Amino acid sequence: MKIVYICSGIIVQNSNEYNNHKSKDMIRKILIANRGEIAIRVMRACYEMGIRSVAVYSEADRTSRHVLYANEAECIGPAPSNESYLCYDKIIEAAKKHKADAIHPGYGFLSENAEFARRCEEEGIIFIGPNPQTMIDMGDKIQARRHMIAAGVPVVPGTQDQLNSAEEAVGVCKAIGFPVMIKASMGGGGKGMRLVHRAEDVVEAYNTCKSEAMSGFGDDTVYIEKFVEGPHHIEFQILGDKHGNVIHLGDRECSVQRRHQKVVEESPSPFVDPELRKKMGAAAVAAAKAVGYVGAGTIEFLVDKYKNFYFLEMNTRLQVEHPITEEVVGIDLVKQQILIADGQPLAIRQEDVVQRGHAIECRICAEDTDNNFRPAPGVVSRLVEPHGPGIRIDSAVYEGYEIPMYYDPMIGKLIVWATTREYAIERMRRALYEYKVAGLVTNIRYLRRIIDVPQFKQGCYDTSFIETNQDRLRPRPGFKNDSEDMAIIAAYIDYLMNYEENKGDGVTENSSALNRWRAFGLQKGVLRV
Residues with a known catalytic role? 317
Helix, coil or strand: residue 259: coil
CA 118 to CA 300: how far, in whole Å?
Answer: 25
Query: Which residues, 6+ apart, have CB-to-CB distance to 293 below 8 Å?
Result: 130, 134, 238, 240, 246, 314, 316
Question: What is the spatial distance between Cα 483 and Cα 468, in angstroms, rounded to a whole number?
Answer: 30
User: Sign (positive/negative) of CA torsion 341, 343, 345, 347?
Assistant: negative
Helices (H), 152-201: 166-176
Residue 395 DSSP SS3? strand
* Sign of the CA dihedral running 515, 517, 523, 526: negative
Instruction: Tell me the CA distances in angstroms from 205 to 179, 401, 517, one per residue in order.
Output: 13, 41, 55
Confirm if 354 and 10 have CB atoms less than 8 A apart.
yes
Distances (CA, A) of 397 to 205, 364, 367, 487: 39, 11, 15, 22
Distance, in Å, from the CA atom of 157 to the CA atom of 302, rounded to the nearest integer, reads 12
Burial of 529 (0-12, 13-18, 19+ CB in 10 A): exposed
CB 124 within 8 A of CB 167: no
Burial class (CB in 10 A: 0-12, 13-18, 19+), 387: exposed
Phi, psi of 462 (to 5 degrees): -130, -165
Longest dimension (CA), the chain: 83
Neighbouring C-alpha atoms within 13 Å toward the C-beta of 187:
27
In three-state secondary structure terms, 396 is coil
Q: How far apart are CA 236 and CA 300, in angstroms?
A: 6
CA dist 201 and 218 (Å) reads 24
Pairing of strands 295-303, 309-315: antiparallel
Please tell me what DSSP assigns to residue 308.
-
